[in-house]
Amino acid sequence: MADVLGYQGKVCVITGAASGMGAAATELLLQLGAEVHALDIGDVKAPVKQAIHTNMMDKASVDAAIEQLPAEIDVLFNCAGVPSPPTPALETILINFVGLRHLTDALLPRIRGGGAIASISSTAGMGWKANLENVKAFLELGSFDAAESWLREDGNCPGDGYGFSKQALIVYTQTLAGELAKREIRINCISPSPTDSNFMTELTKTIPKDAITGFAPAHGRFAPPEEMGKALVMLASDLASFVSGVNLPVDYGYCGEVAMGQRDNPMNIQ
């Protein structure tokens, strides 16, 4: 069978590879013949080319990982993320976006023409349009240090650290698409609906699962991590070679129902 996804021999970097969607995507990439370099604060069990222990909220840790990565990369997958609660809002934003952006910006010069970036956002970030001015101001801070300093100032850190981090990721993705198109590099993200993973296990320690079910698709089923991993790998593959600047809801129609007024819209999705 032809290598329609185009991963055979490709050099891929992936964060969050130890569990959940990141682990599922890692396994699929290996099956497709990619050379995978994995970053995670936990232990990566998959037989990757190298696994680098990395704390995404620690700039020095991210920089140390960057030094160990190949000089040329084909695809970057940003999968590392934590829920809030129970993770404090500031730490959540540092891990889910500030560290992610620092890694991505540093690796951009290494990504070959024809390459791609694919990240995991969330339906929780789909209300970004109503908060666009604040998100853009945060993005304009630019560096890891500037963003962290601003977040640590009294009254600055958003209360909904998770939602804000995912809004920032969606806006960052769409903002960067035009610039990267000049280098023939694509950038996209997916916005999953609730998924059964270690992430969900941590989240439901403080939020009852019944309260999250309201954000599930009409059939009521939470996705397994593998279904999100497939969507992420597809979006960065050769099959999506003219797709960039897209935030793809992977939610079995939830956002479509909201858009058509068939579901309540507590996240202010526009």
Residue 4 falls inside a structural domain = no
Q: State the SS3 of 55-97.
A: CCCCHHHHHHHHHHCCCCEEEEEECCCCCCCCCCHHHHHHHHH
- Any idea what the Cα angle at residue 249 is, between residues 22 and 56, rounded to 5°? 35
Domain CATH for 15: 3.40.50.720
Number of domains comprising the chain? 1
Phi, psi of 235, deg, nearest 5: -65, -30
Residue 145 falls inside a structural domain = yes
Reduce the DSSP state of residue 38 to 3 states and report it.
Answer: strand
Residue 134 falls inside a structural domain = yes
Integer Cα distance of 196 and 176 in angstroms = 30
Residue 215 falls inside a structural domain = yes
Q: pLDDT tens for residues 49-104?
A: 999 999 999 999 999 999 999 999 999 999 999 988 889 999 999 999 999 999 99
Q: pLDDT tens for residues 220-241?
A: 888 889 999 999 999 999 999 9
Integer Cα distance of 258 and 265 in angstroms = 6
The pLDDT confidence band at residue 1, using thresholds 50, 70 and 90, is low
Domain that holds residue 213: 11-259
Task: Record the pTM.
Answer: 0.93
Residue 39 falls inside a structural domain = yes
Q: pLDDT tens for residues 92-145?
A: 999 999 999 999 999 999 999 999 999 999 999 999 999 999 999 999 998 999
Asked if residue 34 lies in contact with residue 96, where contact means CB atoms within 8 angstroms, the answer is no
